[in-house]
Amino acid sequence: MKLLALETANEQCSVCLVNDTNTVFFALNDQPRAQTKTILPMIEQGLQQNAWATDGLDVIAFSRGPGSFSGVRINAAVTQALAWANDLPVIAVSTLQALAQAAYREHQLKQVTAVFDARMQEVYIANFVLDEQGIMQAVSEEKMLSYAKAQAEIQYEVVGSGAHLLQQDTRFGTVTPNAQDIATIAISLAQKQQWVDAAHALPVYLRDNAWKKIPEQGKP
């Protein structure tokens, strides 16, 4: 099974190609707000290096949010375009789940509270526990909460860009998910054919007014 995984929901951009369970290409660009310029060349690079064609893929996986509004939108748009053009199924992976998977990959943490900075004095938060297949699974609902309310949701070690907003002594605030984590989660789902068509490659923002202009959101 040939899988393409994309991650642009946070500031960086990464692409991963997996053949069955073997990673055959991984590239990451951490230049801020450069996803629109870098994602397509990175995909093309990976395909060329492996002599793959887009229509030869079996599935595309992407980070569907929550996360950066523009980053999540770019991820979903590129996934939809490629999937529609090549009649491919898609797998939407929670960015919070990918963050939890990154914590396991980097630090072998098996129980985490994944937290992203959502700006506007809020965070995205959910709790995850490692299953028998080595995949981090949600044990609580994904939420967007104020710092104070998020404190009550903490069950385990806090990881991610919002960790320092809830715990000043956090050790894992720099953990960041990438396309490898998206691929790891997606492969386990693809093996069961748990995918959808391109029309359902939809972003998840959690913030109801994410689409509004900055003045309408009440930002300074």
Provide the strand spans (E) within the chain.
2-7, 13-19, 22-29, 59-63, 90-93, 111-119, 122-130, 136-138, 143-146, 157-159
SS3 for 68-88 is CHHHHHHHHHHHHHHHHHHCC
- Residue 210 pLDDT: 44
User: CA–CA separation, 43 vs 54, rounded Å?
Assistant: 9
Task: Evaluate if pTM is beyond 0.85.
Answer: yes
Low-confidence ranges of the chain (pLDDT < 50): 209-220
Angle at alpha carbon of residue 169, lines to 163 and 173, rounded to 5°: 35
- Residue 170 pLDDT: 87
User: CA–CA separation, 176 vs 58, rounded Å?
Assistant: 27
Q: Which of 83, 38, 111 is nearest to 201 (CA)?
A: 83
- Residue 113 pLDDT: 98
**Domains along the chain with CATH numbers:** 2-94+177-217 (3.30.420.40), 95-166 (3.30.420.40)
- Residue 32 pLDDT: 78
Q: What is the pLDDT of residues 191-215, one digit of tens each?
A: 999 999 999 889 998 876 444 333 4
- Residue 208 pLDDT: 62
Upper half-sphere CA count for residue 124 (Cβ side, 13 Å): 24
- Residue 166 pLDDT: 94
- Residue 211 pLDDT: 40
Q: How many CB atoms lie within 10 A of CB 176?
A: 22
